[in-house]
Chain A
Amino acid sequence: MTPFPFAAIVGQDEMKTAMVLTAIDPKIGGVLVFGDRGTGKSTAVRALAALLPPIEAVAGCPCNSARPEDCPDWADITDKTLVTRPTPVVDLPLGVTEDRVTGALDIERALTRGEKAFEAGLLARANRGYLYIDEVNLLEDHIVDLLLDVAQSGENVVEREGLSIRHPARFVLVGSGNPEEGELRPQLLDRFGLSVEVTSPDDIDTRVEVIRRRDAYESDHAAFMTEWGPQDAALRDRILTARAALAQVRTSNVALHDCASVCLALGSDGLRGELTLLRTARALAAYEGATELTRDHIRAAAPMALRHRLRRDPLDEAGSSARVARQLAEVLP
């Protein structure tokens, strides 16, 4: 069954905007969605896949290389024609083994043919696409370490079982989880470009509308897709237009200065905060069809780009969204 259409998701505007912005500029670096159960987190992520523009890739390449000469030499590729395929969205399940993530010796070939070959893992499949981790805060520590390492270098290096393999692994991380069930390590938190908090809608009409659409989707799937499919397509076109417009968005020194002062006032670690804020605001400007980056864009982008980057006292209770809002009001009046 085709996933629930993105355009049909009721409310949750910040989450939807954040996902659209990462689709416009993958360099923003992914979204972390934290919130209660049954608020449509996983629905949104699965719906996102249908919105993403397709990519061109070498047909037989395990890591979706864009050009035949980019294909890793270990891959032993027979079919080097270029094909258009959907942007990969790869699920990384909890309890996954290291072998599955990084790839490992191909046991089947080793046992049946006595050959030493590499079987690509999830990281290879996610190259140039999205890597989705549901319940990311419950992920085993050693897998988190591994992801951090690869996300940092954009390359997966496997040195084990007599293999020495490397291949590009550039992916956008999308995670979702429920903070009541455990904390997320700050290092991993930092890897997500944007973070949003979702709560279940508290007015009855919205809730009824959610149920109504979901019910329509499940009971009359074809009709529902006919109704919403065009809206998803329109959104996809808008994303493509925004992508093309991205380079044309003028960024004044004042805007740069604004980004820096917000981050400075919030005391976010390193320069990743500024860069992400700038990219997010610019993607937002492009999405809205603006030609110049304004203070409004920065103001709108700041909460999702910065709320998870505040220097964190693990025992601090003040909501980070509130802190960002307070500083924004002061720095960007």
Chain B
Amino acid sequence: MTPFDESAASPGRPPPPGADPWAQTGLALTLLAIDPRGLRGLWLRARTGPVRDRVMAALAPLAPRKLHPGISDEALTGGLDLSATLATGAMQRHAGLLDHAGPLCLSMAERCPPGLAVRLGQALDTRDGLSLIALDEAAEEGEGLPQALSDRLGLFLALDGFSWSETSDITLPRAAIATAQARLGQVACGAELARLTRVAAELGIASLRAPLVALACARAHAAWRGVDTVEEPDLQIAVALTLAHRATRLPEEAPPSEEAPPEPPPDQNESDADSDQTPPDIPDEMLVDAARAALPPGLLAQLQAARMARAAQGQSGAGARRKSLRRGRPMPSRAGKPGAGARVDVIATLRQAAPWQRVRRQMMPGRAEGRLLLMPADIRIRRYQDQTDRVLIFVVDASGSAALARLAEAKGAVELMLAEAYSKRDHVALITFRGSQADLSLPPTRSLVQAKRRLAGLPGGGATPLASALQVALAAAEQARGHGMAPTLALLTDGRGNIALDGQADRAQAGEEAAQLARAIAQRAIPTLVVDTSLRPKPALRTLSDQMGATMIALPRADARTLSQTLGAALGG
């Protein structure tokens, strides 16, 4: 049975919030259909699969236009239609996706480059009637929708918790939607506006776009119920569908700083602290409960982690995309098809066409005199050679043995290299290991202030989970490659690994696992530098370093600057 048949869903009886999550999914889609302009769109977090297909099938009547993260500017905003221009001899343009009203559907949204995200965000802000359905297929923590989009899109649905048997086909009730749309303009919202704003602040949501989309959602829901004023049930739905996923804390809970990564971004910290100091009236229990009901356990922490990781991903800057057809140092042009980011080399194209003009004129007598006769085969496209961004992944041993020896010196060395990375526009990431396992303390970022802060706050002591460190480093390097960056590992350790991957203190197993991972690193040809930070170097680390195919240096007993130069030279600048 589906609650969204025309018959079942009489506008007067909405499903109670939180009662049936799948019904809520259907409701979200209905609201999106009612007010795409106010809600701006939907962030749909789901892997590809039959459950997502059901949702997409329900959205099909809205006829969303597909776009993908690699879409070119021309396809987005329109441009010269070269083939038609050449064929007709007069200028022909083609429209871009943004020129049409109606919803867009962005697949693989987690890979959406920041440039595209910003342009879509601007379009959502300025072009009336545009909305976006972002299909976020993020598999790993730390990936996710760019903030430029997640901040703007009103609704959020996560489908990964649903099994096929819990779901049913959804049919959007078109007639009821049309009725609700007609009513939308009359729905009044008095004091409820202030309540939504207050709840958003209670949930630790800094952005002011959030209460706005929540308001649109409440209005759409009121219109859907067939009433002219926003009331309690509308607010609850709005909180569950538009605010819950943005929450950075729940009011009664301890502040998130305890479970979250050690140092949340300062801004967030401040705003949290500020709103704590000036607590407004009693929190809206009902609404906060709605938020809580909408959040499966653990989702808050998970979203929080993803948000932090994204905030740290300053990586997007220069040349995150590797389109050798677009930028970089020019290379000779070659024959090819324009479009998909390729740019026509006009001079070369004209040069190619020139010798054939007389022949072609004889072959095509109808064409106007004085016009250049071009054939598609004449077209030459430009090519560029592009450099990949480097990401320096520091793997710092903070275990007891290293801390006792030379952790401070190692920190000094990393700081100097950070300063150098800054001037070279490199990205940096920081992995630290001590106790039972290694952590990615800082995902790749250009924000050196964050790197420095994480490093400064790094305590020493505990066992040495070297194998785990190598595992995390390998994963980080692979992920960086996936994003088109060139990873380099810098491992600073004394090499006395004594914790196996499963967290047991088993020196032999730990050594075996470390060796395995080292070979895996060598196999993937990730450039690696090993810095021995122990007081008396042992051959074991030398062996490990050789297995990794790494350059190894002993931490020289010298001032920090000499050290940095040594490191710089070993990394090949």
Contacts and interface: CB of A to CB of B under 8 A. Distances in A.
A208 B422 CA distance: 41
Interface stretch (B133-141, B343-351, B484-492, B534-542): B343-351
Q: How large is the interface on B (under 10, 10 to 19, 20 to 34, 35 or more residues)?
A: 35 or more
Nearest to A200: B206
A95 B117 CA distance: 11
B140 to A, nearest CB: 20
Interface stretch (B44-52, B118-126, B155-163): B118-126
Contacts of B326: 97
Contacts of B193: 208, 211-212, 215
Interface stretch (B108-116, B473-481, B510-518): B108-116
B484 to A, nearest CB: 14
Nearest to B370: A114
B554 interface: no
A214 interface: yes
Given A36-B206, A180-B265, A111 B374 contact: yes
Interface in B366-391: 370-372, 374
A242 B492 CA distance: 60
A203 interface: yes
Q: Which of B90, B126, B201, B208 has the most CB of A within 10 A?
A: B208
Contacts of B209: 37-38
Given A110-B350, A180-B265, A36 B207 contact: yes
Contacts of A288: none
A91 interface: yes
B338 to A, nearest CB: 10
Nearest to A161: B347
20 contacts: A36-B206, A37-B206, A37-B209, A38-B208, A38-B209, A96-B73, A97-B73, A111-B349, A135-B148, A161-B347, A179-B447, A181-B147, A200-B207, A207-B208, A208-B193, A211-B208, A214-B212, A219-B185, A315-B419, A315-B449
A201 B126 CA distance: 24
Q: Which of A111, A161, A210, A215 has the most CB of B within 10 A?
A: A111
A148 interface: no
A37 B349 CA distance: 45
B80 interface: yes
A180 B311 contact: yes
User: Chain B interface mostly helix, strand, loop or mixed?
Assistant: helix
Interface of B: 38, 73, 80, 82, 85-86, 89-91, 113-116, 118-119, 122, 125-126, 128, 147-148, 151, 185, 189, 193-194, 196-198, 200-201, 206-212, 215, 265, 267, 270-271, 274-275, 278, 280, 311-319, 321, 326-327, 343-344, 346-347, 349-350, 370-372, 374, 415, 418-419, 422, 425, 445-449, 452-453
Nearest to B128: A1
Given A134-B122, A183-B446, 5 more contacts: A38-B207, A134-B118, A138-B317, A199-B270, A200-B271
A182 B317 contact: yes
A97 B343 contact: yes
Contacts of B314: 137, 180-183
Contacts of A94: 114-115, 118-119
A225 to B, nearest CB: 15
A38 B243 CA distance: 14
B480 to A, nearest CB: 16
Contacts of B91: 108, 112
Interface in A94-110: 94-99, 105, 107-108, 110
Contacts of A99: 343
Nearest to B200: A207
A180 B447 contact: yes
A113 interface: yes
Contact of A181 (B197, B313, B319): B313
Contact of A40 (B148, B208, B347, B350): B208
Nearest to A141: B318
B24 to A, nearest CB: 24
A207 B211 contact: yes
Contacts of A203: 278
A39 interface: yes
Nearest to A100: B73
Nearest to B195: A208
Given A95-B119, A108-B91, A138-B115, A204 B201 contact: yes
Contact of A36 (B271, B419, B449): B271
Contact of B448 (A40, A180, A215, A315): A315
A61 to B, nearest CB: 22
B16 to A, nearest CB: 27
Nearest to A137: B317
Contacts of A37: 147-148, 151, 206-207, 209
